[in-house]
Every structure is written in C-alpha cells, then in structure tokens.
Amino acid sequence: MVDVTPADAVPPAEVGEVELYHPHSWWTKYVFSQDAKVIAIQYSATATSIGLVALVLSWLMRLQLGFPGTFDFITPEAYYQFITVHGMIMVIYLLTALFLGGFGNYLIPLMVGARDMVFPYVNMLSYWIYLLAVLVLVSSFFAPGGPTGAGWTLYPPQAIMSGTPGGQDWGIILMLSSLILFIIGFTMGGLNYVVTVLQGRTRGMTLMRLPLTVWGIFTATVMALLAFPALFVACVMMLLDRMLGTSFFMPAIVEMGEQLQHNGGSPILFQHLFWFFGHPEVYIVALPAFGIVSDLISTHARKNIFGYRMMVWAIIAIGALSFVVWAHHMYVSGMNPYFGFFFATTTLIIAVPTAIKVYNWVLTLWRGDIHLTIPMLFALAFIVTFVNGGLTGLFLGNVVVDVPLSDTMFVVAHFHMVMGVAPILVIFGAIYHWYPKVTGRLLDETLGRFHFWVTFVGAYLIFFPMHYLGLMGVPRRYAELTDMTIMTESAHHLNSFISIMAFIVGFAQMVFLFNLIWSIRHGREAGGNPWRATTLEWQTPQTPPAHGNFGKELPIVYRWAYDYSVPGAKEDFIPQNVPGAFAPSREPA
Amino acid sequence: MSVILVFLAVIAGFAGWWLSHQRLMAKPWLEQGMAGDYVGFDRSALPTAKIGLGVFLAVVGCLFSLFTSAYFMRMGLSDWRPLPLPRLLWLNTGVLVLSSVALQCAVIAARRGQIDMARLGLATAGLTALAFLAGQLMAWRQLTEDGYLLASNPANSFFYLITAMHGLHILGGLIGLGRTSASAWSGARPQRLSLSVELCAMYWHFLLFVWLCIFAVLAGWAATFIDICRQLLT
Amino acid sequence: MAVVLVLVLIVVGSVLFHLLSPWWWTPIASNWDYIDNTIIISFWITGIVFAAVVLFMAYCVFRFRHRQGNRAAYEPENKRLEWWLMVVTAAGVTALLVPGLFVWSRFVTVPGDATEIEVVAQQWQWSFRLPGKDGKLGTSDTRDVAADNPLGIAPKDPDGQDDVVVEAADLHLPVGKPVKVLLRSIDVLHDFYIPEFRAKMDMIPGSVTYFWFTPTRTGTFQVLCAELCGQGHPLMHGVVMVDTEQDYLTWLGQQQTFAQLSTPKQTGSANQPSGKTMASALDVAAKLETLEAR
C-alpha cells in the first residue's frame, strides 16, 4: 500500500514548458492540423471512405461467386483485381490505419493525459502521406490495365507477369509504390504513438495504470514499426525486379513459350519477407481490438477487467511470439518441410496467451452488472466471432491439418472471422462508445441496434458455413466455381446464400453511415461522461475536448483505469484523476 | 532470416530490460493515491526527441537487417557471383568516419557553448557527408564501367540496392543537419542547439555503424565470419 | 435479453449445422486418413471450447444483466483460477499439436519404395513425367524448355531419354502403390491439389518440391490448382485416374518417351509436340475468351 498524499500537496502535472502548436488560420486548424484529434478524424474518414470502396468490391466478388455467369462485366481479370484491392484495402488501408491512425491518434493523448502527440508536425505529415498512398492506390483503377490482380499477397513471379492483370502494366507498380508510401507515412505516425506513450504520460500514470486500449495500441505500434520494414524491403526488391530486370525473386521462367530475362531468383524469399510482415500484421490489427474490447467490457459491465496484469503480460507475450510464427502461412509453399515442426509449435503456443485473454473477458462478465448497451453488444459479438475464428486458427496452425485446408475457402472463412469480422465489430463498438466524446452526442439507439443485429448475425451466417465449403475442398481465389466435380449442387446454393447475406450485411453498413452523419446534429446530447467511465478521456473539461485536451492543468492520476464498483465507494466508478483511497484493505478472497 | 531474428532479439532485450523496470508485477488496484514513489517510472529523463530518434533508428536498423537477411538467403543460390568491391569504398569509409568525428566535435563544442567550433564541426560533417555520397556515386560508375550492371547478377543488384538505401538515409540526415546548421548560424538558444547537434551526431554514428556492417557484408567478411562461427560451434 | 437467446442459438445452430449439413469433405482416396482423424480431433476439442465459452457468456449475460440496484462484484484477479485455465488450455493445445506433428513427420518421410513421378505445371495446364524402364527421372532445367521439349528435360542426360512424357493429358496411377510426386513449374507458382487425396504442395519455378501418398481406391479424380497463378487459375483443371495394375500397364504402354518425342521425324510432324502445347494453350485462351464474352 502506498501512502495517500492529499491532493493539494501535489504540484500541478504540467512538466516543463508545453510547446503546443497553435493554429493561426482555418487551414491550419482543420486541414493541415497538428492536433492529434483532428488528424484522428482525418485518418478515420479516409480509412472509412476507402473501406467503402473495398466493401463494394466484395459485393462484386460475391455477385460473381454466388451467381456465376450472370454478370458479364465481372471478367476473371476484373475479379482478380477486385479481390486483390479488396484484401489490400481491408488489411492495410482500413484496419491498420483506422486502429492506429484513427483510434491511436484520438485516444492515446487523451488516455495517457497528454496535451497532444509528442511530435505533432510529423504526425500531420503521417496523415498526408497516408492520404497520398490511398490516392496512388485508387489511381490504379484509372491506369492502363487497371489495378493489379495478383492477390493481396502479391506473390512473385505471377504478380509481375503478363498472365496476371496489371502485372506488366501500371497496376503492380502503383500498388507497390502505394505500399511504400504507406509504410513511410505509418512510420512517422508510429513514432508518435510509441513515444507519446513512453514520454507523454501525465503525472501518476504508470504503465500499470494505463487502460488496456493504450497497451493494445502501443504494443501493436511497436510491432508494426518492426514488421513493416519487411514489407518495405519486399516491395522495393519487387519493384526493381519489375522495372529494372533484376532477379531477386524471379527465377528462370518460360512464359507462353518464351524464355524471360530473369534467372535464379527465389520466390520463396519474397514469401518469407512478406509473411515476416504479414503475420505480425494480423496481431497489429488484433491487439488494438483486444485492448479496446477489454475497456468496453469493463466499462459496460461496471466491473474491473479481470486479471489486468495477466492481460498486459498476454499482450506483450503475443506481440513477441508473433514474430516467430510467420512461416505457418507457408506450410505448403515448398519450403523446407522440417520448418513445419517448429512453426506449428510456436503457432499453437500463441494460442495460450490468446485464450487467457478470452477467459478474462468472459470472467469480467461474471458477477458483473451488465448494461446491454450497443458497445457491450458489439463486445459480446466480438468474443463469439473471435473465439470461432481463433479456434479454426488452431486447425490451420497445426501443420498437417493445414495441408488439405490451405488455399481453400476454409482459410477465407477463418481469416475473415478472426481478423475481418471480429476487429470490425470492435471498431463499431468503439465508435458507439467514443462517438459521444468526439461529437458530444450519442448515436441513435434504434438504428444502432438494427445495425448490430444485422451485422453480427449476418456476418456469422456468411462465414460460418463457408468453412464447410473449404472442408469440401473448394479452393479460394477462383473467379469461377464451375466445372468442379467436388462441388455439389447444394454447395452452389450455399454459395448463393452467402452472397445474399453479404449484400444484406453490406447494406446495414449504409444505415450505420447514415447514423454517423445524422447523429452529429440530431443525436441525443451526451454530456461529458455518458458511460460513467473512469479513464481520462471522459474527464476533459470540454466535450468534445478542446485543443490541448485538458484545459489549464493536466490531470494527475491517482489510480488504475478500472476502479468500478469498488466496495465502500458511493458511485460505481471512480475516475482515474480522483484522489483518495477507497481500496478494500485486503485482497478480496 | 537469422540476421533479422538476431536483431529483433537485441531489440527484445532492450524492451525486456526497460519493462523490467516498469513494475509489471505490481498490483495496480492496490496502489491508489498519488504515485509519488513512482515518479521515476513515469518517463525517461532523456529528452523526448532523443527517444523518438532512438525508436526511429531501431526501425532503420530493422530495415537494414532485413536487407542483409535477404542478401544471405539469396546468396545461397547457385547463380551468385560476388563482385569485386572498388577500392574507393575504403576512402569513402574514411570520409564517413571523418564526418562522424567532426559531428562529435560539434557536440562537445555545442555543450561547452563554443558556437564557432560547433559551426565548424557542422560544416565539416556536412561537407564530408556530401563527399561520401559523391564517392559512392563514383564507385557505382566504376562498377558499371567495368560491366557490373545492376541486373546482370544478384550480387550486383544487392550492392546497388543496399548502398542506395544507405545513401538515401544519409541524404535524409543531411536535411536534418542543414536545419541544425541553419539554427547554428541564426543564433538559436545554446541548449536547443546542443540537443539538435546531439541528435544529428546520434544519427550519424548509427549510419556509420550501419555502413561498417553492410561494408563487411558486401565484402564477404561477414559470410566468412559466420562460417568460422559455425565451424566453431559444430 | 435477445442477445442471450441468440448466443445460445449460435451454439446450438453451429453444432447442428456441423452434424446435419450435407457439406463435408469428399470421400478419401489416399492413405492420408490420418489427416482426417487429426481434423476430427480438432473439431472435438475446439467445438467443446467454443460451446463452453459462448454458453458461459450467455449465462453470465442472463444472470448478471443490469437490474435496478445491482452492483458488480469487486474481483481484480484470481491467480489460481487463471493458472488453472492456462494449464487446461495448454493441455488442450498439446492434445491438438502432438498428433498433428506425429502425422506431419509421416507426411515428410517418404517411404523407400515410393515411385517417383513428376508433375510439371505451367499457365494453365498440367503435364506429367514418369520414369522409364531405368526407374530414374532425368534432370531438367527451365532453360531447356523449347517447342520440342515442353518439360525442359535435359537433352544430354541419358536417364531422361526413356522418361515417359504425358503432356497436357490425363495421368494414370496404379492403385495401392506409394507415389512420390515431384513438383515443378516452368512459370509461376501453382499447387497440385486433388481434394480426395488431401495432400497438396506448391510448385515453385526454379526448384523441385514434393509430397507423397498412396492411392487407395480406383477412380477418376479432378486436379485443381490451389495457388493463384494468374487469370486462368480457376480453369487449370486436370485429371488423375487411379487404375488397377493391369489397366495402368495398358495405359503406360500407349505413352511416348522423351526420346521418341524428340527424334526428328519427317517435316510434316516435326512440330507436333509444339502444336499440342499450342493447342492446349489455345484451349485455355479460348475458355478465357468465352468467359470474358459472357
């Protein structure tokens, strides 16, 4: 136990001089803003817009798969372009950018009690480079030959050959350039998120008092900073192979009867580099979701997160382990088969800390006071989909089970469930949760519940049956699911059903977008702390928080982020900046 | 991928060391009140900018480790023909060392408030860094004239690629150095100047270290060294 | 409260779907029923965990939903419970991993009596090569690929002369004999996949990969490509027929060897092999065109 110092004896939490940039014009306030909150909204808006493009692309793909031959304009070429751009946008330009650029920018400074990010100018640059990367990606739709159709994994040699859409045109070049730009931009932002957590914390905010949201985003950013260079290296080398005729990845090849210039390169080398980025990337998306959902559950169940310390250790353990499992994406790639033993073991080990997190979320509900608000509903839905997708991961991580299942619809169903649906449900929950802080108003409840039910049930109905198509042997990335002896008539019907569900779920997102815009003006007034939450972002003097976040003096932190329903306290929550002790004198049995 | 794994192990070591000082075993729900005792844990005493640069250098280190990993993996394939390194690289190395030394002198001078010495150091560092870049370009020209073209062999491709990446980082550093020099000449506060000179020096030393490593890799000593280690182990 | 109902329905529905739906794996035709068994183990363990977690969650939501005057319990952690859960999880994971690794070690250990055959992929067709009378496959190199040598067999290698070349046609295999499939590609990545055999492996241009299996029943099986290989990927079908020993030998007798294919004949038929390649390449091109025309 620590002695409790009376509040008035504590000096103000301002440390040193605060060099906050003050905008001088409309342009520097709202467009070239250095305020993390504005940058967060810019990031979120851009990511959502490009995400809508990806949503439309997924519809087009499902049209083709569910009703083959009905839609003339979806040629195999177009199909592969849709699938590639859809995947790339969803993984990188939407999920990574939204979690780290959007939520990271908005929440880190507010939650750690800082006035802004530590390097606001670099933070601003980060957004503009991200926007440029998005524009370069979009421009590939208008380039001769269209965007690349190499699949989001961009495996050489096919990615840069003429049998692939965009391979010998502009598509692949624009894709690689866009990724390189994204990585540069992300690195700038990432430096900010990491260093702000390290150095920007207000007085009293020790690491173990951080909300798990910050832990999740922080660890994910550290991982991203170390993993993205691998993608950078792979992209640069592939650009050279494509444009200057080097042979990093390109072996001797006969294409349509003609010998190509390349010689001796190793396609496997690319796969190693790609997945050295690609696997941590999964956790870069998952860890912020883990963190955010912990806070949603704790707040809306009015109970401290169960096993906070274990949660933090699990985040760190997952982050570290995720760098030694990359080759489980390559079990059937033709690499040395003996690697399979090592990577299957590490992959299944990672299931243990992940399972601990799931248990702790569920145990937080146990003996809680569960308010079934929309964020809570989304959190519950996250647990269902994440557990489902995580468990099918145990199939694919177990090397020999992966052999029949790899590159089938089972994989598609698995990763959509675990890193598509699950994190996006968290994003929705988080938006319903923090929207009142950003705008001062709550999102409409009725529309929200409609959105939740359609999204959750619909997404489950899309991806759960899809596993069984994969089990049957239906391969992924087929523009045409015809002429296959393994596919029964009923399997085709199932496919059509999945497509129809995909449309319904997609349209529910339009309702959500409408709600987002409509509620800015017409939502119910929320007040400063509508969920009666403890963390610092709800304790700002103004809502939405003004430039500089905390008024004249920074808050001082006296307790951890989860003092809910503390015995002896009058209210069922004690904000982090409230002094005084309400602790039970002994640890509860 | 062994190079990058070793690099990450080093990073993990740092992270583990730092985390071990963060009281991760504490039970935060029992520690209410002003954490007066833990102020030391709030943040590092180092200037924020230095920590930011440190994190950035970790990313740069990661990038070059990955290039090196790719280099070693590609090297094992049959079509690899090592290229003779131009002698000029030795001179370039010397020039880059000089640049680092000059910047270190500038740091010492800036700390003591000797503004003239600091300016001299900055100018020397900038000019020698430019000379290094020019030298690298000349080495490239020599190689192309001798017929070692970018696409003719993977060893050549890697040589051009890695030196180009390193050169680009130096170029980026020169922008920072230019801004520091501008503030040195326009009479910034000594404390501030001292910090930004230190940042430049940190970056320069790191890039020198990277250069020495990739020089060793490109010259083939690193491979020989690894072979010897392997033999000792087995 | 609807959410409790839906959570329960999801568990019940998923289990019923698993048990009752008609969508399941194809009847196996190779020795890899070990893999199927491992999948069954995985379904049991993960299914139990899924049902347990979601049902427990549903119960919590039902039992501890907010009512006037409720207050949550205060319980920061419970070390013992957490350790127990960790141990149980670790045990479950081990139960998945150990049989998996066991089967994998079988998968990577090719039996000594396996016959080597070679599959060569190119955009977008399958060709095959069988060792001739000497029982050895000759060496090959993508650089040797030419109109009259579509598989790139080294022309100087004596082992290669009697190799049986099956270009862009069906492969036959004798039932009950282990086969080591050597995989090669002359352009991009492909993956030789027959769902009924369960086993598959990527083929990488520039190197030779492999897997092995024993066909256990006769029949005709469709080959699919399971690695995105360009826009013809979904059309890259092939056929493998598993025959009785006798049928197999009859078929084998009708095939041509590399030497026969590459001996210069009179001008009229000298271009025959390349004509064949062209024909099948044109075939795919035509298929693609009809697709685009639709």
Residue whose entry in the numeric block shows the structure tokens 């950018």: A97
Q: How many CB atoms lie within 10 A of CB A45?
A: 11
Q: What CATH number does residue B106 fall under?
A: 1.20.120.80
Q: What is the pLDDT of residues A400-447, one digit of tens each?
A: 999 999 999 999 999 999 999 999 999 999 999 999 999 999 999 999
Judged by CB atoms closer than 8 Å, whether chains meet at A222 and B15 is answered as yes
Which H or E run includes A351?
helix A351-365
- Give the up-direction half-sphere exposure of residue A152: CA atoms within 13 A in the CB hemisphere: 17
Which DSSP letter does residue A334 get? T
pLDDT at A258: 85
Judge contact between A225 and A194, C-beta under 8 A.
Answer: yes
| CATH 2.60.40.420, chain C: domain bounds | 115-263+276-293
In B31-189, DSSP assigns E strands to: none
- In a domain, residue B62? The reply is no
Residue A43 CA to residue A100 CA, distance in Å, equals 9
Residues 6+ apart with CB under 8 A from C83: none
- Least confident interval from A2-11, A188-197, A423-432: A2-11
- Least confident interval from A134-138, C12-16, C273-277: C273-277
Residue B35 pLDDT exceeds 80: no
Q: Which domain holds residue B141?
A: 82-233
Residue A255 CA to residue A261 CA, distance in Å, equals 11
Residue C272 pLDDT exceeds 60: no
- In a domain, residue B220? The reply is yes
Q: Which residues in chain B touch residue A7, judged by CB atoms under 8 angstroms apart? A: 34
Q: Which residues in chain B touch residue C76, judged by CB atoms under 8 angstroms apart? A: 27, 29
Among the listed residues C233, C222, C208, the one whose alpha carbon sits nearest the alpha carbon of residue C129: C208
Domain count, chain B: 1
Share the mean pLDDT of chain C.
Answer: 87
Q: Which residue has the higher pLDDT, A17 or A343?
A: A343
Q: How many angstroms separate the CA of residue A71 from the nearest CA in chain C?
A: 8
Q: How many angstroms separate the CA of residue B105 from the nearest CA in chain A?
A: 28
Q: Which residue of A has its CA nearest to B37?
A: A2
Residue B145 pLDDT exceeds 70: yes
Q: Which residue has the higher pLDDT, B153 or A21?
A: B153
pLDDT at A8: 42
Q: Which residues in chain C touch residue A259, judged by CB atoms under 8 angstroms apart? A: 143, 145
Give all strands of the β-sheet with C190-193 in edge-to-edge order. Answer: C171-174, C238-243, C219-225, C190-193, C200-203
Residue A452 pLDDT exceeds 50: yes
- Break chain A into its structural domains and give their ranges: 32-248+266-539
Interface of chain B toward chain C, CB-CB under 8 angstroms: 27, 29
- In a domain, residue B4? The reply is no
Residue A420 CA to residue A389 CA, distance in Å, equals 10
pLDDT at C277: 45
ipTM of the complex: 0.94
Residue C278 pLDDT exceeds 50: no
Beta-carbon contacts below 8 Å between A and C: 348
Q: Which residues in chain C touch residue B27, judged by CB atoms under 8 angstroms apart? A: 76-77
Residue A19 pLDDT exceeds 70: no
Among the listed residues A478, A480, A332, the one whose alpha carbon sits nearest the alpha carbon of residue A401: A332
Judged by CB atoms closer than 8 Å, whether chains meet at A267 and C145 is answered as no
- In a domain, residue B133? The reply is yes
Confidence of residue B24 (pLDDT cuts 50, 70, 90): confident
Query: How do beta strands C115-122 and C179-185 pair?
Result: parallel
The reply to whether C76 touches chain B by the CB within 8 Å rule is yes
SS3 C125: strand
Q: How many angstroms separate the CA of residue A473 from the nearest CA in chain B?
A: 33
pLDDT at C273: 43
Token pair of A271 as six digits = 């796969």
Which C positions 154-183 lie with beta carbon below 8 A of chain A? 183
Mean pLDDT for A289-315 is: 95
Which H or E run includes C203?
strand C200-203
Mean pLDDT for A205-230 is: 94
- In a domain, residue B54? The reply is no
Residue C158 pLDDT exceeds 80: yes
Q: How many angstroms separate the CA of residue A307 from the nearest CA in chain C?
A: 4
Judge contact between C142 and C206, C-beta under 8 A.
Answer: yes
Q: Which residues in chain C touch residue B74, judged by CB atoms under 8 angstroms apart? A: none
Judged by CB atoms closer than 8 Å, whether chains meet at B150 and A191 is answered as no
SS3 C266: coil
CATH domain C115-263+276-293 topology: Immunoglobulin-like (2.60.40)
Confidence of residue C168 (pLDDT cuts 50, 70, 90): confident
Confidence of residue B224 (pLDDT cuts 50, 70, 90): confident
pLDDT at B32: 73
SS3 C185: strand
Token pair of A113 as six digits = 């009690």
Confidence of residue C26 (pLDDT cuts 50, 70, 90): very high
Distance between the two ends of chain B, CA-based, in angstroms?
20
- Least confident interval from A561-565, C54-58, C276-280: C276-280
Judge contact between C198 and C219, C-beta under 8 A.
Answer: no
DSSP string, A418-452: IIIIHHHHHHHHHHHHHHHHHHSBPPPHHHHHHHH
Share the mean pLDDT of chain B.
Answer: 89
Judged by CB atoms closer than 8 Å, whether chains meet at C73 and A368 is answered as yes
- In a domain, residue B113? The reply is yes
Contacts 24+ apart (CB under 8 A), A327-331: A327/A272, A327/A275, A328/A279, A328/A396, A328/A397, A328/A399, A328/A402, A329/A271, A329/A275, A329/A278, A329/A279, A330/A268, A330/A271, A330/A272, A330/A275, A331/A399, A331/A402, A331/A403, A331/A406
Q: Which residues in chain A touch residue B27, judged by CB atoms under 8 angstroms apart? A: 309, 587
CA A553 to chain centre: 33
Q: How many CB atoms lie within 10 A of CB C254?
A: 8
Q: Which residue of C has its CA nearest to A148?
A: C230
At position B83, the amino acid (one-letter code) is L
- The answer, as to whether pTM is greater than 0.90, is yes
Residue A42 CA to residue A37 CA, distance in Å, equals 9
What is the CATH superfamily name and number for domain A32-248+266-539?
A: Cytochrome c oxidase-like, subunit I domain (1.20.210.10)
The reply to whether C40 touches chain A by the CB within 8 Å rule is no
Give the Å distances, CA to CA, from A105 to A100, A117, A136, B69, C149.
Answer: 7, 8, 23, 33, 60
Token pair of C176 as six digits = 């009950």
Beta-carbon contacts below 8 Å between B and C: 3
Mean pLDDT for C162-189 is: 92
The dihedral region occupied by B111, where left means phi > 0, alpha psi between -120 and 50, and beta the remainder, is alpha
